[in-house]
Amino acid sequence: MRTRLMAAAMVAAGALTLAACSSDDDPGDGGTGDGGGGGGDTIRIGIKFDQPGLGFKDGDTYTGFDVDVAKYVAGELGYTEDQIEFVESPSAQRETMLQNGQVDLIFATYSITDERKEVVSFAGPYFVAGQDLLVAADDTTITGPEDLEGKNLCSVTGSTSAQRIKDEYAAGTNLLEQPGYSECVTALTAGTVDAVTTDDIILAGLASIPANEGKVKVVGNPFSEENYGVGMPKDSDRCQAVTDAITKMLGDGAWQKALDDNVGASGYVPNADLNPPEPAACE
């Protein structure tokens, strides 16, 4: 009798072990399947963390026009806001982050260019910006890049906007380079420089900060055209769905609301001939 009891106990223990192994190997309903989120439990979205009005991180809060567009598109893809993981995506690292799978999508003032399209795909554009100038609110002397001859201009290190001004409009511009645009605006309000340059909507975001309201203004004379797109890995199967989501946002009022909410305080009005844009086919 004792032998039969011991044998039964060993069989029961073996069954429990097999059940435990099966549970570890098979994710079942609690695994990483669709999770109700359009292809995964979370979606990793690259944004800027240091661009007020566009992509800005304050503690655990993310705000800006790019952030609002990202949330809308993610929602159309089937993700709730708590399924979005925002990842900082510096300009110089965007292609690498997409190629390495560090992010699924990038909404970070990411201009669509032929060179970039060789290594990543784009949906959009969802906004057409232009390189412009930020000046003191009472400045009436600077109306365009040609007025910067002999004046002091601030931009971030390696800015294509600043270099274009020196190459094409005012070779005698004195360039002050800073690590970030916030430092440039500080120099502008202090009178150290006469203007700041980058894309107009980025300047509008800086001008919308309560501390800067009424002190600075966007000139409103853009000298380039920058088509902001949603970056994704090359030949991503999400491309058409993202384009469809952008098209819907442009048409249902959510795009204009996001723009007004984030940069409206600056008084900036985007080029009506270019915005809202018509999203192109996936590229």
Mean pLDDT value across residues 36-45: 72
Local confidence band at 283 (pLDDT 50, 70, 90 cut-offs): confident
Contact partners, residue 213, CB within 8 Å, separation at least 6: 207, 265, 266
Report pLDDT for 91: 87
**pLDDT digits 0-9 by tens, 45-56:** 999 998 999 999
Residue type (1 letter), 56: F
In 169-238, alpha helices (H): 181-189, 200-207
pLDDT at 40: 65
Q: Which amino acid is at 14?
A: G
Nearest residue to 247 via CA among 76, 59, 104: 76
**CB contact at 8 A, 146 and 219:** no
Is it true that 43-129+226-266 and 131-218 share their CATH fold? yes
Q: What's the pTM? A: 0.80
Contact 193, 200 (CB under 8 A): no
DSSP state, 111? B
43-129+226-266: what CATH class? alpha beta
Contact (Cβ atoms closer than 8 angstroms) between residue 224 and residue 165: no
Q: What is the pLDDT of residue 280?
A: 74
Residue-level pLDDT at 25: 34
Percent of residues, the chain, with pLDDT higher than 70: 86
Name the band, by pLDDT with cuts 50, 70 and 90, for residue 31: very low
- Best CATH choice for the domain 131-218 from the list 3.40.50.300, 3.40.190.10, 3.30.70.20, 3.40.50.2020: 3.40.190.10
Average pLDDT over every residue of 189-209: 95
DSSP state of 76: H
143, two tokens: 């109306």
70 CB neighbour count, 10 Å cutoff: 26
Read off the pLDDT band of 37 (50, 70, 90).
very low
52-108 pLDDT, tens digit per residue, is: 999 999 999 999 999 999 999 999 999 999 999 999 998 889 999 999 999 999 999
Q: Domain-by-domain residue ranges, the chain?
A: 43-129+226-266, 131-218
Residue 28 pLDDT greater than 70, yes or no: no
The larger pLDDT score, comparing residue 33 to residue 149, is at 149
Among 233, 238, 283, 229, smallest CA distance to 96 is for 233
